A and B are shown apart, each in its own frame.
Chain A
Amino acid sequence: DTEVTQTPKHLVMGMTNKKSLKCEQHMGHRAMYWYKQKAKKPPELMFVYSYEKLSINESVPSRFSPECPNSSLLNLHLHALQPEDSALYLCASSQDRGSTDTQYFGPGTRLTVL
């Protein structure tokens, strides 16, 4: 099983709302990632978790708050977002942070901020 699942598939929220994106994998991977992808652009790395600890934050605004409750689950908490945050948010996982490890991507959550 090489599946990464993400919920919800679509999310529409106002700028004052608080919402969360969820990502799950059951491949025993110890590294998990959040990417942001704007239309017709390549994905950009936001956060990396390794062994449930945040190891990389690519200077993402604090209105995005990641959380890794356990080795299978990764959340992205959203608060006070701006319309320019509308994008496809992709989760990925890999066996470890090793340079040879393939990253497996989920289907993404399409976020629209009104």
Chain B
Amino acid sequence: KQEVTQIPAALSVPEGENLVLNCSFTDSAIYNLQWFRQDPGKGLTSLLLIQSSQREQTSGRLNASLDKSSGRSTLYIAASQPGDSATYLCAVRSTSYNTDKLIFGTGTRLQVFP
């Protein structure tokens, strides 16, 4: 059974810091891994999608890496801003299960204070 975990569960940092959020998964047989952002009580915004054949993806201040063999992904946020405060979720599409099913991690709740 695919299990996805995220560390840390919560993070509070001052503005300007560079951050690393971690995501690990137990079954390396995945199609892709996706990072989402969720503001309180809101829907999910897709940030980055990394295919299993890729090592990383970048969008602005965000960089996501994928090490499929070790079952790990990291989301790097450069020069954090208060507007980055949200919950960050990673989700995998596993080849061992129905490909429609995104298996989500429990999230990292990020607070960036001025």
Binding site for B on A (CB under 8 A): 4, 6, 31, 33, 41-43, 45, 48, 50, 55-56, 88, 90, 92, 97-100, 102-108, 110
Contacting residue for B102 out of A41, A103, A108, CB 8 A: A103
In contact, A31 and B100 (Cβ under 8 angstroms) = yes
Q: How many residues of B contact A (CB 8 A)?
A: 25
In angstroms, Cα B100 to Cα A4, docked, is 18
A108-B43 contact, Cβ under 8 Å, with A42-B89, A98-B99, A100-B31 = yes
B68 within 8 A of A: no
Q: Chain B binding site: helix, strand, loop or mixed by DSSP?
A: strand
Asked, given contacts A43-B44, A90-B44, A105-B44, whether A99 binds B99 with beta carbons under 8 Å apart, the answer is yes
Q: Are B45 and A105 in contact (CB under 8 A)?
A: yes
- CB closest chain-B residue, reference A108: B43
For residues 88 through 108 of chain B, which have their beta carbon under 8 Å from a beta carbon of chain A?
89, 91, 93, 95, 98-102, 104-107
Question: With an 8 A cutoff between CB atoms, is B49 at the interface?
Answer: yes
Q: Is the CB of A107 within 8 A of B43?
A: yes
The answer to whether A106 touches B43 (Cβ under 8 A) is yes
Q: What 3 A-B pairs are tightest by C-beta distance, nearest first?
A: A42-B104, A99-B31, A105-B44
